[in-house]
Amino acid sequence: MTRPEAVRRVKSYSSATGFVYQYYFYEVQKVRHGGAAGTEYVYMISVDRKKVFPLRVFVRRDGIEKWGRAGGRDLTGTEEYAVAKMRLFDALDEIAGIESSQPDLVVDESNIDTLLARLNL
């Protein structure tokens, strides 16, 4: 049996580069990148409302665990999703022409504190 098509909530984001992007959350999956375990959040992005392209945010498990040890608690699934979304927004703000470059977006120990601070965590 085929999987029913999910209803997606399309949102807008006005970036610092001057573009207004439309995006929606597409899927989440546990993956390994370069030997590192983590969770990949996939967002579908559009610049012109005609074509969409995927942007993947890889949240490294070791960065999340290190933060958890220092903070005395683990991140919830909702908090992990939020930190991935903050990383997505950073990329949309920083990279003009993101649709052609489709960069590797990563949340790890180098940026997790900054991203979580924006969420007051």
Phi, then psi, of 31 in degrees rounded to 5: -145, 175
Give yes or no for a contact between 16 and 94, defined as CB atoms under 8 angstroms apart. Answer: yes
Beta partners for residue 57, in sequence order: 41, 105
Q: What are 30-85's pLDDT values in tens digits?
A: 999 888 999 999 999 999 888 999 999 999 999 999 999 988 899 999 999 999 99
Banded pLDDT at 3 (limits 50, 70, 90): low
Of the given ranges (6-10, 56-60, 89-93), which has the lowest mean pLDDT?
Answer: 6-10
Nearest to 108 by CA among 74, 84, 85: 84
Amino acid at 91: A
Is it the case that residue 2 has pLDDT exceeding 80? Answer: no
Whether this prediction's pTM lies above 0.75 is answered by yes
Average pLDDT taken over every residue of the chain: 91
Distance of CA 101 to the CA centre of its chain: 16
